[in-house]
Structure 1
Amino acid sequence: MDVQDIVNTVSQKAGLDQAVTEKVVGTIFSVLEHEAEGTSVSGFFARISGADGLAQKYDVMAAGAAGSGGGLLSSLEGVLGGALGEKTGALINGVAVLKASGLDMAQIRQAGTTLIQQAEVAAGPELTNEVLGSVPSLKAHLGL
C-alpha cells in the first residue's frame, strides 16, 4: 500500500476532496516525522511508499506552514514552538494547519481514524501503535 492508496481511502470514507485529504494526511505524517521518537518512524515511513515525501511536502515546521498569515495565533505558535522545542512546535503547527483547512472536528476525527486504520494495514498495527504512542498528544488533538 502506498500513500496515494491511503489518501484515496481517507478521502472516500471521510467524504473529503482529494486535495484537502492529501493535506490532512501529509500534515499528520509531518507531525509524526518531527515528533515520533526513535527510529520507528523511519521504519513506519519505509512501509508506506511516498509517506515521507508527503510529510515533507506538507512540512508543519516550514515557514508559514500553519497558514495563519500572522497575527496572534502565529505569534503564539512561534513563542510556544521556540520555548518548548521543535516537538511541541510541530504539534501546534499541525493542529493549526488541520483547523485552518476548513474541516470541523468530526471530519478531522474521521480522517484521522481512517488514516490510522490504513497505516495499520500498511505498516502493521504494532509499528503504527509504537509511532503513535510516541506522540500521545496527537491522538488527543485528533479526538481519537
Structure 2
Amino acid sequence: MFKIIYIISFLMSVLLFYLCNDMTQTLNINSEFGVVGGNGNLGLFPWIFLFPFFGFFVYGTFKYSMLTLTKLAKAKKIMMLAGSGVLSFIIVINVYNQASELRKKIVEVSPTYTRESELSLLNFWSNSIFFNFFTFLLVILLTILLSAGMTMLKSRVPRA
C-alpha cells in the first residue's frame, strides 16, 4: 500500500512542478503598457492542493533511500553523499544565477522597480526557473544527501 501511495505522490509531485512551471507569467518586454504585474503568483496556487502529495513523496524518497543506503558499503555511501552534494550544489548555483539574471532584466525593463533588491528571486516571472525538471531533481538529490548523511551518522554511533 505504501508503494502505491508513493507512486501516486510522485506523479502528483511531477504534476505540481509542471503546473507551477506552466503558470509562469511571461515577461512582455515590448509591451506598450510596460512590464505589469498581476494578482500575485498564480504558479504557487497548485501548492495549496498538492502539497500533501509532495510532502509524502519527500518522506517516501527519504525512507526508500535510507533502506537502500543502509545495505550499501561505507565507500558507496560516501560516493552517494559526495555525488548528491556536488550535483545539488551545481543545480543551486545554476538556479540562483538564472534567477539573478531574470531579476536584472526585470529591473531594466520595468518602470516599477529601480533596484534589484526590491524584487525577490521568486516572483511570478521566475516560476519556470524554480519549478522545472532540475529543481525537482534537486529535491530528490537533497533528500538522498540527507539520508546518506543520516546513515553515515547511524553507522558511527555505537548502539547501547
TM band (smaller chain): 0.3 to 0.5
The higher radius of gyration belongs to: 2
TM-score by length of 1: 0.32
- Identify which of structures 1 and 2 has the higher relative contact order when contacts are C-alpha pairs closer than 8 Å and 6+ apart: 2
